[in-house]
Amino acid sequence: MDETDWTDIRASLAGDDDAFARLVERYEPQVARLMWRFSRDRVQCEELIQDVFVEAYLSLKSYRGDAPFLHWLRRIGTRVGYRFWKKRAKDKGRVPLSEVQGLAGKPEETDPALAGELLDALLAQLRPADRLVLTLEYLEGCSMKEIAERTGWNVAAVKMRAHRARGKLKKIAERDRLLETLPWTN
């Protein structure tokens, strides 16, 4: 546990807003990267980041410090993002893969934003729980144990869900002809 974080957390609990502002500034880039996985709309994403920090502030008393502050923030971020997806599950739009253009000839030359957009278009077709597991696995690089810690689900359930979700995603990718969209797979 970072001593600077502890100092700022204690000061925040005592009512020092500047201390909490320092925590926000310190962890905002990491939280922003996580919340970008949940919404690729800039305004919406900023609202989600704000929700994460406000929720963190309101439950700051419950932070015990047995894990780094960033881990705790990421757990809150995952919960906020998942709640957002569940709320919007009915009105999600679908971006056809054929509309995604400008992919490079090699995977490592592909624009990260374009790769993110393409992946998001595919993952968005899954149910929120399946989407969450695969988003954390593919885009956050989490292990099954880490996904279980972030979501509060047990490891066996996460493994099972990930396995099924991968199968569903493969079918979606086949139906949407993903391999034809990617120049480097031919």
- 152's torsion region: left (phi>0), alpha (psi -120 to 50) or beta? left
Among 64-72, 80-88, 91-99, 177-185, which window interacts with other proteins (CB under 8 A)?
177-185
Interface with other proteins includes 61 (CB under 8 A)? no
Interface with other proteins includes 1 (CB under 8 A)? no
Interface with other proteins includes 156 (CB under 8 A)? no
DSSP label at 108?
A: G
How many residues sit close enough to other proteins to count as binding (CB under 8 A)?
Answer: 44
Interface with other proteins includes 25 (CB under 8 A)? yes
Interface with other proteins includes 118 (CB under 8 A)? yes
Give 42 or 64: the residue with its C-beta nearer to other proteins.
42
Q: Which two tokens stand for residue 168?
A: 């569903």
Interface with other proteins includes 162 (CB under 8 A)? no
Q: How far apart are CA 127 and CA 134, in angstroms?
A: 11
Q: How far apart are CA 77 and CA 27, in angstroms?
A: 12
Q: How far apart are CA 29 and CA 77, in angstroms?
A: 13
Considering only 70, 95, 115, 129, the residue that binds other proteins (CB under 8 A) is: 115
